[in-house]
Amino acid sequence: QITLKESGPTLVKPTQTLTLTCTFSGFSLRTSGVGVGWTRQPPGKALEWLALIYSNDDKHYSPSLKSRLTITKDTSKNQVVLTMTNMDPVDTATYYCAHTDNDYPGGFDYWGQGTLVTVSS
């Protein structure tokens, strides 16, 4: 059974760096073709794709946010970490991590519950 869960601060101040951790079970990031990605959703708004990391350490970023994002994996801990620098109130959103693999290329078939991050001074 595949599960993912996001963790991190619920409140960050403008200009601070956000660090979110996705802890997963039921699959391994050592398996070829497996990936974990991040998506966010501001309150009442649409989904926005952020970043994706594969088991071979191939990384993909949203072009509009690439300069602010870093995605890494810790295979031994079954974790993927997303950092976003220079946070702004417009970054207030629910952040989701999700699983993908070769069965559904680029499609996220398992999602975490999401974590709401508010950016405010």
List interacting residues with another protein (CB under 8 A): 37, 39, 46-49, 52, 60-64, 96, 98, 103-109, 111-114
C-beta of 14 vs 106, nearer to another protein: 106
C-beta of 113 vs 118, nearer to another protein: 113
Q: How far is the CB of 24 from another protein (least distance, A)?
A: 14
Contact 57, 73 (CB under 8 A): yes
- 2 backbone dihedrals φ, ψ, rounded to 5°: -90, 130
Q: How far is the CB of 91 from another protein (least distance, A)?
A: 17
Contact 3, 15 (CB under 8 A): no
Q: How far is the CB of 90 from another protein (least distance, A)?
A: 15
How many CB atoms are closer than 10 A to CB 112? Answer: 21
Contact 20, 79 (CB under 8 A): no
